[in-house]
Structure 1
Amino acid sequence: MTETPTPGPAPAPHHPYGTPTTPHVTVRGEAHLEADPEIAHITITLTARGTDRRTTLDDLTHRNTTTLNLIKTYGDTIEKLETGTLAIRPELTRHGRAERIRAYHGSIQLTATISDFTALGEIVARLADQDLTRIDGPWWALRPTSPHHAAARRQAVQEALQRAREYAEALNTRLGALLELSDTGTHVGPHMTPAAFSARTRSFGGATEAAPDATPLDLEPVRQSVDAQVEASFTLVPPNLG
């Protein structure tokens, strides 16, 4: 004969909002830090125009190669160099009752991430001095792995803990245990409103004439703000409210 096991005591019900014997306190912690930017992003748009599609593409390819070679001469100063959208499109014009291709327009976009701000001004000036080249930026930023992010999160947690202790002291009691800690958001900003540097423009692509090196631009980095927010819930030792 098999004995039926005796059921154990039922687990205590969970009360997410606390009970008179286990009160809770939920607080918010915030942090605001400022730090110098660590990197800058710029976008380079190269264009070409011609009456022949193959010639337009060849001009764009040559301009792209020249630009990549220029940027790569800065070595480790360039943390990242990426090629974006490449486009070749015809420009149509009305000819009698029909349309014909008047010209071809080509463009290619590059994005560079630069860590040396002294070299940044020189790079931007040299790129903007090229024909049919547009520079947008810089956008200043912290690296995703920057220790400033962790510092802001730690400060937000410490503020939440301090705030909870102050509430406990106001009730003449103390904190018990941490129930929950939620990251409600980390924000980095502001970024500099980007400027646009446009180079000389020609009607049709062609060989770039030799020119002396452009004077480096004096670019002032914009300090970045890092905001962190957390919510924390603690139990309280039941206070004596009598």
Structure 2
Amino acid sequence: MDHLAEPDGAAVPYGTPGAPRLAVTGEARLEVDPEIARIHVTVNSRDRDRRKALDDLTRRNAQVLDLVKSYAEAVEQLQTGSLSLRPQFGSKGRGENVRSYHGHVLITAVLGDFTALGELVTRLADLDLTSVDGPWWELRPDSPVHGEARNQAVREAVQRARAYAAALDTRLAALVELADIGAEEPRPQGMPGLMRARSAAYGGEMAEDAAAPLDLEPRRQTVYARVNARFTMHPPQL
């Protein structure tokens, strides 16, 4: 950034009588609807026989993946996280007394079509030894909302600086510095919310005895932007 300088060329971090400096902060806070919903699906298995526990885990994992993939147009991202199969030892006795084997797989799905979310969550929760956490509502990283918040923060800084200059019966001369100090802080909501989903079957026919889809309501997101701006202004007549 340019710096104000005395006649001898030495840069100074402050204004001069001939070019007073004005420092302001611009802020913007937008409340918007989420663009995506993230859910975590945990598939579990448990058996005294290690191979049986692994086979069950493999089968249930494939069942979950097939179900999620059947909502192809609604699912923007599907990925497997942690996987484990570990022995559970007995509380009594000595040596390697394995009581059973516990397995789990963590699957994350991101949906951009909320009309399918309630139905998918319900169908996943209805599977054996399968748990669902979420949804967590978010904005996409490249959402234009982030840029709009930054633009509003800059406009607010300029407007505030002009108001200060007008109070001194003068006007701004030049922009000296515009500093991004964490201009965007999208805040994905950590608490599961609710969102309204249509009840029609999506991605295949549902069984007659299937649970009714959940009515889910999206949680609005807060996007915050803040900038520091420094200007020079024409010397006021004090």
TM range (shorter): 0.7 to 0.9
After TM superposition, the structure 1 = structure 2 runs for residues 12-91 of structure 1, keeping only pairs within 5 Å, are 12-91=9-88
Q: Which amino acid is the alignment partner of residue 123 of structure 2? A: R
1:78 maps to amino acid: V
CA contact (8 A) 1:33 1:152 kept: yes
Residue type at the aligned position of 1:21 = G
SS at match of 1:238: coil
Whether 1:128 aligns to 2:125 is yes
Q: Which residue of 2 aligns with 1:189?
A: 187
Aligned residue in 1 for 2:233: 236
**How far, CA to CA, are the matches of 2:121 and 2:102 in structure 1?**
24
Unaligned runs of 5+ in 2: 1-6, 194-206
Q: Which amino acid aligns with 1:56?
A: A
Deviation at 1:98, TM superposition (A): 3.1
Q: Deviations over 1:94-124 (max 9, x none)?
A: 4534340010000000000001111000000
- Aligned pairs for 1:156-195 (under 5 A) are 156-185=153-182, 186-189=184-187, 191=189, 193-194=191-192
CA contact (8 A) 2:176 2:232 kept: yes
Cα distance in 2 between the residues matched to 1:89 and 1:36: 41
Matched residue SS, 1:163: helix
For residues 53-92 of structure 1, what are the alpha-carbon distances to aligned partners after superposition, in whole Å with 9 as ceiling and x for unaligned?
A: 1111111011111110110011121000010000111001
In structure 1, stretches of 5+ residues that fail to align are 1-9, 196-209
Change (3 A) 1:211 1:44: farther
1:164-206, Cα deviation, whole Å (9 max, x unpaired): 00111111111111111111222223616127xxxxxxxxxxx
* 1:78-227 matches, cutoff 5 A: 78-185=75-182, 186-189=184-187, 191=189, 193-194=191-192, 212-227=209-224
Q: Do the aligned residues in 1 keep the contact of 2:29 with 2:222 (CA within 8 Å)? A: yes
Deviations, residues 9-55 of structure 1 (Å, cap 9, x unaligned): x9612111111122111100011111111100000001000111111
- Distance, in Å, in 1 between the alignment partners of 2:58 and 2:208 is 20
CA contact (8 A) 1:192 1:222 kept: no
Matched with 1:201 is: none
Q: Identify if the C-alpha distance between structure 1 residues 100 and 211 changes in structure 2 by more than 3 Å, giving closer, same or farther.
A: farther
TM-score (norm 1): 0.86
Matched positions, count: 218
Q: TM-score, normalised by structure 2?
A: 0.87
Q: Pick closer, same or farther for the CA change 1:156–1:94 going to 2, 3 Å.
A: closer
Match of 1:6 in 2: none
Are the counterparts in 2 of residues 56 and 104 from structure 1 also a CA contact under 8 Å? yes
Shift >6 Å, 4+ stretches: none
Task: Compute the RMSD of aligned alpha carbons.
Answer: 1.7
- Displacement of 1:227 in angstroms is 1.1
Q: Distance in 2 between matches of 1:106 and 1:193?
A: 26
SS in 2 for 1:75: coil
Q: Which has the larger radius of gyration?
A: 1
Q: What's the CA shift for 1:213?
A: 2.9
